[in-house]
Amino acid sequence: MDDSLRREKHRAGNGDAPTSSAPVHAEQQSLRDLLLLIAHGDRAAFEEFYDQTSARVYGLTVRILRDRALCQDVTQEVFLQVWQQAPHFNPTAGTPLAWLMTIAHRRAVDGVRSQQRSVDREQRFSNRNQTVEHDEVLDTVTSRDEAQSVQNCLGTLTDTQQESVKLAYYSGLTYRQVAERLGAALPTVKSRIRDGLIRLRECLGGS
């Protein structure tokens, strides 16, 4: 038999042709080995695991959260969980990458929920605080019936305070709407209105 034909038959019989899944299997085995070392407290293995997988974790969080600063925080939380839970990784239940991305997805979803709760709390506080402050000024104006005094006192505010207070008080906008109208940060607008109302009360009390 010709040597080249014999070699060809040998390769066919022993499956020597490379498969596209070989690199994937090699990567998963590498990650399994690293997780085993991490489970025993190997920091060098943890750094290697982070280097190999952090870009994919970050990419997933960006798709869910959008906020890049928050994504960085969530990514760090994910790898802290990896460090803590590596001893509990079960290789028979799935691949290391699938395990990792499940953790990342859960953390990112928790981040979305936390963001929404924060926005809701801020809006409730803003509405409640605005109502109280507006009512106090309204009571003062109504009891005195001195619209001219209010106008005069408005003149003692800075331009930014006066603009913010007028939008919130006379136009009835929420703090967030005032911020959007003026193109300013919400905390800045809240501070302007609060300081402006304090100066108004002081001015009306002394007039």
pLDDT of residue 19: 46
Tokens at 206, concatenated: 């002394």
pLDDT given at position 164: 84
**Residue 86 backbone dihedrals phi, psi, to 5 degrees:** -55, -40
Please give the tally of structural domains in the chain: 2
**Structure confidence by residue, pLDDT tens digits, 45-57:** 999 999 999 999 9
Report the C-alpha gap between 31 and 35 in whole angstroms. Answer: 6
Domain co-membership, 34 together with 111: yes
- Residues 41 and 88 placed together within one structural domain of the fold: yes
Cα–Cα distance measured from residue 187 to residue 163, given in angstroms and rounded to the nearest whole number: 16
94: domain CATH number is: 1.10.1740.10
State pTM to two decimals. 0.47
Residues 29, 109, single domain; the answer is yes
**Residue 126 CB neighbours (<10 A):** 19
In this structure, the answer to whether residues 32 and 92 fall within a common structural domain is yes
Please report, for the domain that includes residue 181, its CATH number.
Answer: 1.10.10.10
User: Digits of tens for pLDDT over the chain (207 positions)?
Assistant: 444 444 444 444 444 444 455 666 888 899 999 999 999 999 999 999 999 999 999 998 888 887 777 888 889 999 999 999 999 998 888 899 999 999 999 888 887 776 666 555 555 555 555 554 555 554 554 454 456 677 777 788 888 888 888 887 777 778 788 888 888 888 888 888 888 888 877 777 654
3-state SS, residue 73? helix
